[in-house]
Chain A
Amino acid sequence: MGSPVAEAGELKAGVAKPAGARSKPRRKSKRHGKAQKAIPQQPLTVAETEAKRMRAVNPAQYYRQNLGQLGFGDPEHALVQTIKELMDNSLDACEAMMILPEINVELIATEKRYEVVTNKTKDGSVRTFPIFKVSVEDNGCGVLRSKVAKCFGKVLYGSKFFSFKQSRGQQGLGVHAAIIYAQLTSLEPAVITTKTESDPSGYRVVLKIDTERNGPVVISTEEVKFERLHGTRVELMVAGDYTDKVEYFIKELSLANPHADLAFTVVKEPNSEPKRLHFKRANEILPPQPREIKPHLLSMEPGALLEMKSNDLCCKTAKQFLTKHFVRISEEKAAQLLKASGIRQDAPPREIDVERLLKAAREGDLMRPPLDVLSPIGEDALRQSLRRMYPDAEFIGAVAREPWSYRGVPFQVEVGAAFGGQSVINDCDRVRESVFKSRVIRLGNKCPLIYDSKDCLLYKVVKEINWRNYKISQDEGSLPYAPMIIVVSLISTKVPYIVPGKFAVAYHEEIREQLRLALQTLGRMIYAFISHRQRQEHERHRQSIFQIYAKEVAKDLSYFTGMDEAKLLEGLLESAKHRKPSKTKAEAEPAKKPAPKAESPPQSKKKVAEVQAPPIKAVEATTSKKEKRTQHEGLRKQSTLEQFFG
């Protein structure tokens, strides 16, 4: 999760404190009750040095220097990221207050442009990108007037960082990155308008973030009119490159959050016609709030553990440190771990050898974390969502797996599919005439992942599945060829991105396994649907053949016998309704083989061929298999199903 401290995790292994070294006895602090930083007097390990250095840079500075890693690397990506951060914030805020979200997004291209010096075109001229005014307004509870500046102007850090709670964004931290990016590229401040229910009117704050000291610079405040009873609107001016990825993002966000009402307006060029999209709610069920839990030992990076150790103020002993700060560690377990890592139970926390402890944890057979802390989309909600998004799909299905954990981190996999129908086809890539490649929608904590699909585990597992088992054609190791939308959702307290800022989920065997199982179940559902449809098609096709031939037969027989043609037709159609397994073939089969050979003597001489009807054909009383396939030529209309599945 975009944590700079995680960078420090790239430690040189094995640098431990000199054995047996003891710190100087600590002088009791005169300031009781006040926070006191422990100052170790042994030589610092590399890890500790790194962590210290990190702390010296304030988070705002860090953000500014590493915008690329936070998703603001290039203008196209940055635009999407800005919208994402703001919308994530809005959704999280609404849900926390038990409100069904209603979000209005506006993207308006202004006349201003942004030059990117390092990004030159072929002829050497500098590329420019338009500055967009991005405005995201929600119907959340609003922000207290006194808190607005601090909330948006200071990059918070520390305690929240180690909280284990499922959330879309980075617990509101991403907004700051967006604001800083906006400042850098447009030089314009952020404008935040908010109103709580009890406020008489809206409150508008124009501010910038001072990255040097990590604090807000309030340029102006005023009371303004605000249409909603309560809500917040954030307006940023950012340099961006508008592509259809933005629209897909909002569409997929709507898919992942069927309880939200999303409206989107974009003016792509200055003063051009606005384009509007409105994604209405698919249901009105607020998903349950995810629970916050303490972290699990297995999920800790060494650097993070170090930080925790250093920041800890309340624990006297190592044992206490373990039982208090981590989930599912009992007294016995703590004792066991400390013993295994050669640390005395009653030693102060700072004496904990982080790496040995983690090693002991890995080998220590720890319990899985509590799994009921997540808030998934839900099978029903996903189905409703897909149905709302693709109303004319021929098949909609969703599968949710039970929650599980990887390396101490709870997670849950949900998958869904929309199959067939024009709306689905519109979203798929057309490979050839009537051959489409499926589209995969990836969701991490109900937020669309729209870049870096090739590196993403979610995408890779879809390709790994053998869709051919489910009557869907597929080239080895690539996406299936079908008019199909596949939604793959991973919910977790910590979605394991390969690299912070990248939209690609890293490989974990537990996650992969759950994905496979879910997709296989989904595949079976699709297979059942397709089989059923094929049977229906076949039956229709079959019936139509009989109808055609019945007419002819009735005509001929009525000539013979003088019987009423209509009656004959009726009788034939009635007979056609009753299927009979073809026995005739079985009877004729054994006969076919020996007979032709018997006729070889006369056959080879030319003289024979003329008068005696070719013997082999004379034998086949019923049509051969080959003939059968062609006999109904003229009747083989290509149904949509046949086109896809041959």
Chain B
Amino acid sequence: MARLTKAPKSVRSLETFDDAAKKLRQIFSDLSSEIVELKQPVMRIPLRTASNTIFDEKREILTIGQKACERRFNEMSGVRPFMQTCLLARAIYEALKNDDHPTIRDLYYYTLHTIEGTEVETFNNQDESNSIFQDIEVMTGLLREQMGVVAESRGAMVGEIVLESKGNKIDCSKFGIGAFNIPSLCDQINILEVDAEYVLVVEKDAIFQRLNDYEYWRKNRCLLITGKGQADRATRRMVRRLSDEFALPVYVLTDADPFGWYIYSTYRAGSISLSYESFRLACPKAKFLGMSMTDLEKYEIPKDHLIKANDVDIKRARELLMKDPVTKKPRYPWFCNSKQWRQEIRLFLDKKVKAEIEAKSSKGFRFLSDVYLPEKIRNKDWIK
């Protein structure tokens, strides 16, 4: 096949952290001005709750609404978080200025100290610090990666894709049986060229390795990505970037169970608690490839390969269709509003069975890579 090298739609310069620094400085300058002018300093922190989560129909992602909580210095309940927010923001700002990229744990230890002349600790534990950190994220509208704060990354990628980072060119087709580890600050990487028709995201690392071994990506001209289970931020970001910058379709492959659906959901639309991340990390165009309930029959997976669904699975499946009792809105609109998905979930609730991808091996080890996947893609047999 002729190599069709795709160039990015638009040449995007690397995001700098200057914007983040500027934003932080702006917000806290305003706060300082309020203080110096003897007005009550107030931090407006958008609420990350179900009632304040809106499903943007047009963009098909969850976003944060307008409700915010006011954090004031002059209240007993607000004074400590107020102090912690200023402290943490200052630490982030310092890091940005010095071109440091700490983890949130680094930040925690950096800011943890006893306030001079007292026995009061700035933070009681890391959870307190993480919570404040999230407050800063929503307050500024910047995600941690945009502020240069590093989180754990687990994702891997292979395929005909050339990246550039710190002056190095990285060709992800040349890893052999290995793969490229998607770093946390994935926006610090330039994607130079891509030669693929789609992106295949697999849930499990084992499947990823198998497909990589068979050079599935080479034979089918796609990019292979795994989140190794629940997708981390970097992987989701990468998927989103590929979808945005190269207009590549994204297909997600998981086990045939509600957990797998949830993984798909994460790639697609994020979650209520992390709805503030969706605008950068969600990929609404991601499609669910398999395994679906209908596949189980279609591909004649033998009955003894099927696992009985347990109570947790059933409960979870039901929740995917549920409406939030307070807001009366569906929690997972992309499942609720899709007829196909509703059918799929009801089928599961009827049959009460689930299956792992590896169950397909009943038909041969290569069934997945040689038959199942290509056929499904060719037949556009996916659920949106």
Interface residues of A (CB under 8 A from B): 542, 545-546, 548-553, 556-561, 563, 567-568, 571-572, 574-580, 582-585, 587-588, 590-595, 598-602, 604-605, 607-608, 610-615, 617-623, 627-628, 630-635
B312 interfacial by beta-carbon distance below 8 Å? yes
Given contacts A548-B118, A560-B89, A602-B271, contact A594 B324 (CB under 8 A): yes
Assess whether A560 is in contact with B93, with CB atoms less than 8 Å apart: yes
Cα A76 to Cα B31 in complex, Å, equals 76
* Beta-carbon contact of A622 and B71 below 8 Å: yes
A-contacting 9-mer, from B37-45, B300-308, B359-367: B37-45
Point out which of B35, B90, B326 has the most chain A C-beta atoms below 10 A from its C-beta: B35
Number of residues from B at the complex interface, CB < 8 A: 83
Given the complex, which residues of B lie within 8 Å of A627, measured CB to CB? 124, 128
Query: Can you report 21 A-B residue pairs in the complex whose CB atoms are below 8 A from each other?
Result: A552-B87, A553-B73, A557-B32, A558-B32, A559-B94, A560-B24, A560-B32, A560-B89, A561-B25, A576-B73, A584-B70, A584-B77, A588-B49, A598-B319, A605-B259, A611-B152, A615-B273, A623-B80, A628-B76, A630-B124, A635-B119
Which residues from chain B contact A592 at a C-beta distance below 8 Å? 49
Is the CB–CB distance between B152 and A557 below 8 Å?
no
Q: How far is the CA of A630 from the CA of B320 in the complex (A)?
A: 37
A545 surroundings in chain B (CB, below 8 A): 76, 79
Give 18 A-B pairs besides A560-B25, A560-B90, A561-B32 with Cβ atoms closer than 8 angstroms. A548-B118, A549-B115, A552-B115, A563-B36, A572-B35, A572-B41, A572-B73, A582-B78, A588-B47, A591-B47, A594-B324, A615-B271, A618-B134, A621-B47, A621-B135, A627-B124, A628-B76, A634-B120
User: In the docked arrangement, what's the CA distance between A579 and B77, Å?
Assistant: 12
Residue of B nearest to A607 (CB): B229
Q: Roughly how many angstroms separate A546 CA and B117 CA in the complex, as a whole number?
A: 14
Q: How far is the CB of B63 from chain A (nearest CB, A)?
A: 16
Q: CB of B56 within 8 A of chain A?
A: no
Bound-state Cα–Cα, A590 to B315, Å: 24
Q: Is the CB of A548 within 8 A of B115?
A: yes
Given known A553-B86, A611-B154, contact A601–B316 (CB-CB < 8 A): yes
Q: For the complex, give the distance between the alpha carbons of A635 and B119 in Å.
A: 7
- How many whole Å from B149's CB to the nearest CB in chain A? 13
Q: A594 touching B121 by the CB < 8 A rule?
A: no
Contacts of B109 in A (CB 8 A): none
Q: Are A619 and B49 in contact (CB under 8 A)?
A: yes
Q: Establish whether residues A595 and B319, one from each chain, have CB atoms under 8 Å apart when the complex forms.
A: no
Chain B residue, CB-CB nearest to A574: B38
Nearest CB on B from A553, distance (A): 5
Distance in Å: Cβ of A592 to nearest Cβ of chain B: 8
* Complex contact A599–B233 (CB within 8 A): no
On chain B, the residues within 8 Å of A561 by CB distance are 25, 28-29, 32
Q: Contact: B124 with A633, CB < 8 Å?
A: yes
Does B48 contact A621, Cβ atoms closer than 8 Å?
yes
**Interface on B for A, CB 8 Å cutoff?**
24-25, 28-29, 31-32, 35-41, 45, 47-52, 67, 69-83, 86-87, 89-90, 93-94, 114-122, 124, 127-128, 130-131, 134-135, 151-152, 154, 229-233, 258-259, 262, 271-274, 312, 315-316, 319-320, 324-327, 331
The answer to whether A634 and B121 have CB atoms under 8 Å apart is: yes
- Complex partner residue of B232 from A560, A590, A611, CB under 8 angstroms: A611
A594:B51 contact, CB within 8 angstroms = yes
Q: Within the complex, which residue of A580, A590, A608, A613 is in contact with B134, where a contact is CB–CB below 8 Å? A: A613
A632 to chain B, nearest CB (A): 7
Bound CA–CA A97/B48 (angstroms)? 85
Whether B50 pairs with A551 at a CB distance below 8 angstroms is no
Cα A545 to Cα B83 with chains together (Å): 11
**Known contacts A575-B40, A610-B230, A611-B231; A591 and B89 CB within 8 A of each other:** no
Given the interface pairs A568-B32, A601-B319, the reply to whether A575 lies near B74 with Cβ below 8 Å is yes
User: Given A575-B38, A635-B119, do A595 and B49 touch, yes or no (CB 8 Å)?
Assistant: yes
B69, A587: Cβ atoms closer than 8 Å: yes
Which one of A549, A577, A582, A623 has the greatest number of beta carbons of chain B within 10 Å?
Answer: A549
B120 touches which of A594, A602, A622, A632 (Cβ 8 Å): A632
Docked Cα-Cα span, A5 to B333, in Å, equals: 99
Which residues on the B side are within 8 Å of A632 (C-beta)? 80, 120
A591: contacting residue among B37, B38, B51, B134, CB under 8 A: B51
Query: Chain A: which residue is nearest B122 at the CB level?
Result: A552
Asked if B78 and A633 sit within 8 Å, CB to CB, the answer is no
Give the nearest-CB partner of B326 in chain A.
A594
Taking the closest CB of chain A, its distance from the CB of B22, in whole angstroms, is: 12
Q: Which residues of B contact A542 (CB under 8 A)?
A: 76
- B48 near A619 with CB under 8 A, answer yes
Are A634 and B118 interface neighbours, CB within 8 A? yes
| Contact yes or no, A599 B230, CB < 8 A | no
Judge whether B49 and A594 touch: CB under 8 Å.
Answer: yes
Q: Quick one: closest B residue to A615, CB to CB?
A: B273
Q: Are A611 and B115 in contact (CB under 8 A)?
A: no
Closest approach, in angstroms, between the C-beta of A136 and any C-beta of chain B? 58
Q: A552-B115, A598-B324, A618-B131 are in contact. Are A591 and B77 (CB under 8 A)?
A: no
CB-defined contacts of A599 to chain B, threshold 8 Å: 271-273
Could you tell me if A612 and B271 are in contact, using CB atoms closer than 8 angstroms? yes
Residues of the A chain whose Cβ atoms lie less than 8 Å from the Cβ of B151: 611
